[in-house]
Amino acid sequence: MKSLVLAEKPSVARDLARVLGCKQMHKSHIEGPRYVVTWALGHLVELKMPEDYDRRYKDWRMEDLPIIPNQMGLKIIRETSRQFRAIDELAKRRDLKELIIATDAGREGELVARWIIEKIRWRKPVKRLWISSQTDRAIREGFQKLAPAEKYDRLYQSAVCRAQADWLIGLNVTRALTTKYNDPLSAGRVQTPTLAMIIEREKEIQAFKPKAYWTITADVGPFSAVWERRGEKRLFDKEEAEAIMAKAAGQTAVVRTAERKEKTESQPLPYDLTELQRDANRRFGFSAKKTLSTLQRLYEHYKLVTYPRTDSRYLTKDMAATMSERLKAVAAAYPDEVRPALKRKGKVLAGKVFNDAKVTDHHAIIPTDEPVFIEDLSADERKLYDLIVRRFLALFYPPCRYEHVQTVFEISGETFVVRETVCTDPGFRLVTGKEEGDARSLETLEPGRTFRVKDLRIEQHWTEPPERFSEADLLQRMEKYGLGTPATRADIIEKLLQSQAIDRQNGRLYPTPKGKQLIELVNDQLKSPEMTARWEQELENIARGKGNPGAFMKDIRKLTERLVAEIKESDQTYRAHNITGSKCPECGEFLREIKTKDGRMLVCPDRSCGYRRRKDPKLSNRRCPQCHKRMEIHEGKAGLYFKCRMCNIVEKAEEIKKTVSKREERELLKKYSKKDEAFGNPLAEALKAALKDQS
């Protein structure tokens, strides 16, 4: 009898199969003497859509809302149904004794597997592989200590509650807003409070009024001392500042106090996903999405780092024995940094990092014991790997030690202060690459010593408004309020960008006119970070066995009804910010301009019409028969056509399809078959039809 192993992706399945000795390659699985390894393609099963319950829901109508099924059902995703059917057929084999879940070890990975298991009606035993890295050793050890799937039932319940809550609130509120105001308006349990935080910051910036203030600096002997009063260095009264200047000019400075304190900075803990995304954004300008996808390659393809989607910065105590092997794995790329740690036999000097109580589903992100070949990594992969390794190596170095020196002078009754920080032992900063303080040390002065005031300077400044959020700032705020999880925060930010509720400019996030109006239309409860944080905590409690899934979903259903009712009864107005002067040739509505991955599009707001065209038509590989320049590709009432802007020559796709080369056909289909989430892609469908072989 064999075990059926279900991985989340084909690449992971191939690694599992290799370690498990499976060599018989099939289209949808890999088989060996003891195991049959198959794979999902991410989610193969999803929650049913409204039209799956009733065909009338295919059209968006306010009178049908809210849509709250008594029992939420599952359906097979059409695009990946072939792989689902393959798994379904495998599950019927009589030589299979059990199923082993080997999807990602987290909430979403659990959902991927459990929904597939439910749809194939698997009734035999189920076990769970739970590993934090994809190295051969981790896989072998993981299969030696498989756990019963029941151990993760609560995690699955939490995942189901999250999925159903997002469906009920997101779908109903989005449909209600879009239908009422005739514009694609997206709202959700996590994305709406995230948008609210961005807009709240924008309001602070717009309401801000600059205020002048002055600072005073005195050259006292060899030092530059700054005026200070009760910790405040700014003077908001120019006359007072000038009076202090006049009083102190030409006077004697007397040392009142001189303190020298030794301080210690502890080694930083390894990264969790959110902090790594923040650091990568600050240092390299990476978006949260880019950091996650790059990190996933380091984990899955190269097997150089441990599980990415973690919210812990600690390690378990039993991992102390693996430190030497991890050091040796990175030694080729970091010989100088690793050498001192290996001399101490891999002893971790930051013992606080080992704390079982602070490790949840996964420990912090650290290097694996897989040897690194740094030249194999892309520039972005190398940057991210370097952050992880240096933060890991810091654990093997002593704390950073420095001296803080402060001297307080009195000049005519006013206080002037000199401060300096001097690094005495860099410790872990030798590997993190950060320097602290000046190289020289400020001498310790005896109280009562006097100096002549050589010069006084007064400078005017202006208070500045708070900065707009960078992704690093926003991730920090989302983490503070518990909005989303480390695994979902990047997608939330991307969703806000794609829906054009926010825009990214020079690394900062700006609300758009659409986003500003949207937040005014949404219920205060839905846009409250505190409320959403409580929901997220409830989901976490359910995963830990401390929450009630039934009670949580009952509250979500009630909230959905109330949110939709408020939208229906609202007398607020909305004006689409992207209306153009061009009319739809099909129905006469004014077209709206939207941004897509393929450029700007003009679309009809009437969903039943669906007309759309590119504002700046893309060039095809079809050459004009007269000037031989590339022709634009368009779609009109008569179907797909090519047009030369220079010669004004027009050719219908149907008339030229016999002359289009196979290579050009492939390139055209590839170029225009990307789907737009909000509107579909009729241009691609028309192109496929035009180029279809009639034989």
When the pLDDT of each residue in the chain is averaged and rounded to a whole number, the result is 89
pLDDT of residue 674: 45
Can you tell me the mean pLDDT for 41-55?
95
More confidently predicted of 612 and 171: 171
pLDDT of residue 631: 84
Strand partners, 488: none
> Dihedrals φ, ψ of 99, to 5°?
-120, 135
> What tokens appear for 80 in the block?
């990946």
Q: What mean pLDDT do residues 425-443 have?
A: 73
Q: Which comes out higher in pLDDT, residue 690 or 407?
A: 407
H or E segment and range at residue 428: none
Number of neighbouring beta carbons within 10 Å of residue 91? 20
518: its two tokens: 């949207």
How far does Cα 359 stand from its chain's mean position? 21
In terms of DSSP H, where are the helices of 301-364?
323-330, 335-343
Tell me the pLDDT tens digit for each residue of 406-430.
Answer: 999 999 999 999 998 889 999 999 9
Tell me the chain's radius of gyration from C-alpha atoms: 31
- pLDDT per residue over 453-472, tens digit each? 999 999 999 999 999 999 99
Query: Is residue 361 scored above 60 in pLDDT?
Result: yes
- Report d(CA 384, CA 475) in Å as an integer: 17
Contact 410, 256 (CB under 8 A): yes
CA–CA distance, 126 with 134 (Å, rounded to integer): 21
Lowest mean per-residue pLDDT among 114-118, 371-375, 664-668:
664-668
| Residue 668: predicted pLDDT | 54
User: Quick check: is 307 catalytic?
Assistant: yes
The Cα–Cα gap between 493 and 491 comes to: 5
- Phi, psi of 472, deg, nearest 5: -60, -45
Q: 661 falls in which pLDDT band (50, 70, 90)? A: low
Q: pLDDT-derived band of residue 676, with 50, 70 and 90 as boundaries?
A: very low
645 in Cβ contact with 619 (< 8 Å):
no
Spatial neighbors of 176 by CB under 8 A, at least 6 apart, are: 62, 65, 66, 563, 564, 567, 568
Instruction: Render pLDDT for 75-88 as a digit per residue (tens, 0 to 9).
Output: 999 999 999 999 99
Q: Rounded to whole angstroms, how far apart are CA atoms 126 and 122? A: 9
Handedness of CA 412, 415, 416, 418 (dihedral sign): positive
Please say if the pLDDT value at position 669 is more than 80: no
Q: Which of 36-40, 262-266, 636-640 has the lowest mean pLDDT?
A: 636-640
List the domains of the chain with CATH numbers. 2-145 (3.40.50.140), 161-206+468-569 (1.10.460.10), 212-266+406-462 (2.70.20.10), 273-396 (1.10.290.10), 579-691 (no CATH)
Question: Quick one: pLDDT band at residue 677, thresholds 50, 70, 90?
Answer: very low
Q: How confident is the model at residue 601 (pLDDT cuts 50, 70, 90)?
A: confident
Pinpoint the alpha helices (H) of 317-404. 323-330, 335-343, 379-393
Residue 311 CA to residue 61 CA, distance in Å, equals: 41
**What is the C-alpha separation between 486 and 54, in angstroms, rounded?**
36
Catalytic site residue from 307, 397, 611, 672: 307
Selection from 339, 337, 331 nearest residue 373 by Cα? 331
* pLDDT(281) > 90: yes
* Residue 423 DSSP class: E
CB-based contacts of 658, cutoff 8 Å, min separation 6: none
Using alpha carbons, list the distances in angstroms from residue 122 to 86, 114, 115, 169, 241: 14, 10, 11, 31, 80
Q: In angstroms, rounded to a whole number, what is the distance separating the alpha carbons of residues 587 and 597?
A: 26
Sign of CA dihedral 521, 524, 530, 535: negative
What per-residue string of b and e applies to 369-399 under the rule 16 or more CB within 10 Å gives b? bbebeeeebeebbbbbbebbbbbbbbbbbbb
Mean per-residue pLDDT, 5-9: 96
Neighbours of 460 (CB within 10 A): 10
| Mean pLDDT value of segment 212-231 | 95
User: So what's the pLDDT on residue 445?
Assistant: 83
Give the pLDDT confidence score for residue 73 in this predicted structure.
97
- pTM value is 0.82
Contacts of residue 215, defined as CB under 8 A and 6 or more positions apart, other chains included, come to 226, 227, 233, 234, 235, 458, 459, 461
For the segment 206-210, the average pLDDT, to the nearest whole number, is: 97
556-560: long-range contacts at Cβ-Cβ below 8 A with a sequence spacing of 24 or more? Answer: 556/161, 556/164, 556/165, 556/168, 556/169, 557/68, 557/168, 559/169, 559/525, 560/66, 560/68, 560/168, 560/169, 560/172, 560/173
- Report how far residue 576's alpha carbon sits from residue 183's, in angstroms, rounded to the nearest whole number: 7
| Contact (Cβ atoms closer than 8 angstroms) between residue 362 and residue 310 | yes
Taking phi over 0 as left and psi of -120 to 50 as alpha, with beta for the rest, 500 belongs to: left
234-250 pLDDT, tens per residue? 999 999 999 999 999 98
Confidence band, pLDDT 50/70/90 cuts, at residue 33:
very high
pLDDT at 679 over 70: no
Closest CA to 81 of 53, 35, 51, 116: 116
For residue 693, pLDDT over 60 is answered with: no
Q: How confident is the model at residue 681 (pLDDT cuts 50, 70, 90)?
A: very low
Across the range 361-367, mean pLDDT stands at: 93
Region 584-601: mean pLDDT is 78
d(CA 36, CA 29): 7
Q: Does the structure show a pLDDT above 80 at 438?
A: no
Q: What is the pLDDT at residue 435?
A: 57
The whole-number pLDDT of residue 688 equals 54
Pairing of strands 450-462, 502-505: unpaired
| Edge-to-edge strand ranges of the sheet holding 96-102 | 24-25, 29-31, 35-39, 2-7, 96-102, 126-128, 147-148
What is the DSSP code string of 519-549? HHHS-TTTT-HHHHHHHHHHHHHHHTT-S-H
Cα(606)–Cα(608) distance, integer angstroms: 5
Separation of alpha carbons 613 and 615, rounded Å: 6
Percent of the chain residues past pLDDT 70, beyond the cut: 91
In this prediction, residues 124-150 reach a mean pLDDT of 94
Q: How far apart are CA 271 and CA 7, in angstroms?
A: 26
User: Which tokens is 116 given?
Assistant: 């597939």
Q: What is residue 462's predicted lDDT score, i.e. its pLDDT?
A: 98
The predicted structure's pLDDT at residue 70: 93
Band the pLDDT of 667: cuts 50, 70, 90: low
Q: So what's the pLDDT on residue 598?
A: 61
